[in-house]
Amino acid sequence: MSFWRKLACVVLALVLGASVTASWLAPAGYAKQYREATNAPPSRTHWLGTDEIGRDRFARVLYGTRISLLLAPAAALLTTLMAALIGGLAGYLGGAWARMAMAVTDLFLSLPWLFLLITARALMPLNVSPLVSVLVTFLLLGLLGWTAAARVLCTTAGALRTSDFVRQARAAGLPGRRLFWVHVVPNLKPVLYAQFWISIPVFILSEANLGILGLGVAEPMPSWGSLLKELEGLVSVGEEPWKFVPLILLVVVVTSFQLLLSKQEEVAG
């Protein structure tokens, strides 16, 4: 294992450990409002300062990490599995199946998701607890985000279907199902991994934007998305640098995951 991969493992372990032990590291919790100390800079009491209504930013980052780190990968996994099933299978089967699957994918891509999400919000009750809102949000993201990945996987699986080693395997009498699982799916892994890791930051940011439709993680629960929204009104980078911690954390975590992924890709390759 290279130095960078070891470092990635350590970083991920630290971030995961900190988020799991959030209640011990930040006992006051993410919702406690210190109304006498709003927008405070970092101090011994509040390591990353407080937000605009006096909530401890360190606690919110830890709890937000727990939510985003657990649910964004879960949504990405759901997306990737759906993409693999629809795109991979369509590409492998080819012909009418591929055309039909891609037509469905194109239809999904052409749908005005903004209006569908507004409809989804309208159908949902207003009185949902923050936890349910989190689950619904990431489930929606997972169910809606598979289309682009499915197209990529369909093309890749299509290329594999006509490759020499698959033709040889088929000529040798290997049954279709076994051919798919033994020869096609392992060769789709690099693409699947890439799609999985790409989806994570996309979903984290999408969750923040879904707040506009009343679908994001509900207050007072934090998420990386809601914490990143704090940067919206920042006029200059040097003004309040501690507000960039969630962004730095997002970059570090995604980079660490991708460093590990490159190892996985090598193995899969």
**Ranges within 246-265 binding another protein (CB under 8 A):** none
Binding mask 93-122 for another protein (x = CB under 8 A): -------------------------x--xx
From 100-108, 128-136, 142-150, 185-193, span contacting another protein (CB under 8 A): 128-136
**Ranges within 197-236 binding another protein (CB under 8 A):** 211-214, 218-220, 232-233, 235
Residue placing its CB nearer to another protein in the complex, 63 or 257: 63
Binding mask 142-181 for another protein (x = CB under 8 A): ----------------------------------------
User: Of these, 1, 3, 52, 266, which contacts another protein (CB under 8 A)?
Assistant: 52
Residue placing its CB nearer to another protein in the complex, 56 or 89: 56
The pair of three-digit structure tokens given for residue 91, joined into one six-digit string? 């590409």
Sign of the alpha-carbon torsion through 148, 150, 154, 160: positive
Residue placing its CB nearer to another protein in the complex, 1 or 126: 126
Residue placing its CB nearer to another protein in the complex, 82 or 215: 215
Torsion from C-alpha of 83, 88, 93, 96, nearest 10 degrees:
40
- For residues 102 and 108, give the distance between their C-alpha atoms in angstroms, rounded to a whole number: 10
Q: Does the footprint of another protein cover residue 29 (CB under 8 A)?
A: no
The pair of three-digit structure tokens given for residue 66, joined into one six-digit string? 């727990």
Residue placing its CB nearer to another protein in the complex, 147 or 226: 226
Residue placing its CB nearer to another protein in the complex, 217 or 253: 217
Q: Closest by alpha carbon to 198, among 71, 73, 90?
A: 73
From 52-60, 195-203, 243-251, 261-269, span contacting another protein (CB under 8 A): 52-60
Q: How many residues bind another protein (CB under 8 A)?
A: 25
From 31-39, 92-100, 151-159, 177-185, span contacting another protein (CB under 8 A): 31-39
Tell me which residues touch another protein (CB under 8 A).
Answer: 31, 33, 35, 38, 52-54, 118, 121-122, 126-130, 211-214, 218-220, 232-233, 235
